[in-house]
């Protein structure tokens, strides 16, 4: 059984403020350690659950956050700038979204945003407001791979329970503000991640892929005016900050953004 793990940073246990997830943040070195520890806890659970192969994608910012020499040697890791969002997802039996965060605008969610807090305000997929959780679950669904587990704060887990029927939701902290939350102790958070991953892998294909039927229209509202791709013929401009693209699948529509 092959498991694909997408790992973001804002929802990692022990992380609750911007300085931990920004490359120039004073607490970023600690954030990298916390991210690496959560990944190792997840990989342990995957193999306990029966995984024969685990592929981990560092999906935060430029994709170079995990501390390579401290990672579990049983898994393989995708790091750095890559040509695809999920290279190697084909043929996998399950997707884990580790360390994810709530979509932009969710009150009290730790470090909530959608893709880019600096440039993206809101995103909709076929008219439904969406965050990175739905976006990545749907991209995996384009390849027939089910989202079997998520981890993050309580707001992210609530989002997942509404979205994906049967996926294991591991709550490692409770959001109290954009830059603050109530965190579990390190050992307990890692224990929950390992237990959740084991349970999710054992559930296997009983969890269906999350599929968005095509054609797929993605609408994006930008934070700032003057950034619309006005010269492209495949873009529909809706107002001074909002545009739409349409493709046969979520992945192909997203690539048009």
Question: What domains sit in the chain, N to C, each tagged with a CATH number?
Answer: 2-115+130-212 (3.40.50.10780)
Q: Which two tokens stand for residue 225?
A: 């005016």
Q: Is the pLDDT of residue 185 over 90?
A: yes
| DSSP conformation letters of 52-78 | SEEEEEE-STTS--S-GGGS-TTSEEE
- Say whether 60 is catalytic: no
pLDDT band of residue 159 (cuts 50, 70, 90) is: very high
Cβ neighbours of residue 226 under 8 Å, at least 6 residues apart? Answer: none
Q: Is the pLDDT of residue 225 over 90?
A: no
Global pTM value:
0.96
- C-beta of residue 157 within 8 angstroms of C-beta of residue 97: no
In this structure, the strands spanning 120-125 and 94-98 are unpaired
> Of these residues, 113, 119, 143, 190, which one is catalytic?
113
User: What gap in Å lies between CA 159 and CA 148, rounded to an integer?
Assistant: 14
How far is C-alpha 225 from the chain's CA centre? 27
- pLDDT confidence of residue 95: 98
Closest of 95, 181, 166, 189 to residue 133, by C-alpha: 95
Q: Identify each DSSP E strand in the chain by its residue range.
A: 2-7, 53-58, 76-78, 94-98, 120-125, 128-129, 147-153, 168-177, 180-183, 216-222, 236-239, 242-247
List, in sequence order, every residue forming a beta bridge with 217; answer none if it has no partner. 246
Neighbours of 25 (CB within 10 A): 14
Query: Order of strands across the sheet with 120-125?
Result: 128-129, 120-125, 216-222, 242-247, 236-239
- pLDDT confidence of residue 229: 87
Q: Which two tokens stand for residue 85?
A: 């969002």
The more confidently predicted of residues 229 and 211 is: 211
**Mean of pLDDT values over 175-189:** 97
Average pLDDT, the chain: 96
Q: Which two tokens stand for residue 231?
A: 């010269």
- pLDDT confidence of residue 179: 96
**Mean of pLDDT values over 130-151:** 97
Q: Is the pLDDT of residue 154 over 90?
A: yes
């Amino acid at each position: 059984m092959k498991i694909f793990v997408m790992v973001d940073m804002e929802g990692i246990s022990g992380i609750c403020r911007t300085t931990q997830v920004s490359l120039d943040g004073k607490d970023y070195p600690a954030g990298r350690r916390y991210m690496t520890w959560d990944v190792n806890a997840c990989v342990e659970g995957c193999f306990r659950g029966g995984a024969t192969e685990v592929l981990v994608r560092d999906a935060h910012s430029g994709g170079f956050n995990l501390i390579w020499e401290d990672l579990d040697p049983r898994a393989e890791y995708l790091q750095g700038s890559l040509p695809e969002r999920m290279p190697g997802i084909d043929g996998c039996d399950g997707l884990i979204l580790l360390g994810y965060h709530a979509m932009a605008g969710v009150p009290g969610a730790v470090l909530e945003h959608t893709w880019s807090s600096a440039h993206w305000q809101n995103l909709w997929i076929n008219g439904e407001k969406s965050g990175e959780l739905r976006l990545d679950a749907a991209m995996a669904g384009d390849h027939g791979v089910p989202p079997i587990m998520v981890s993050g704060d309580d707001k992210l887990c609530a989002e997942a329970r509404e979205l994906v029927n049967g996926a294991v939701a591991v709550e490692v902290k409770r959001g109290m503000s954009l830059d603050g939350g109530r965190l579990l102790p390190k050992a307990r958070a890692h224990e929950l991640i390992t237990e959740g991953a084991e349970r999710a892998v054992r559930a296997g294909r009983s969890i269906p892929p999350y599929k968005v039927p095509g054609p797929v229209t993605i609408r994006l509202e930008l934070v700032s005016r003057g950034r619309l791709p006005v010269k492209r013929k495949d873009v529909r401009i809706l107002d001074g900050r909002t545009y739409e693209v349409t493709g046969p699948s979520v992945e192909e529509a997203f690539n048009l953004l």
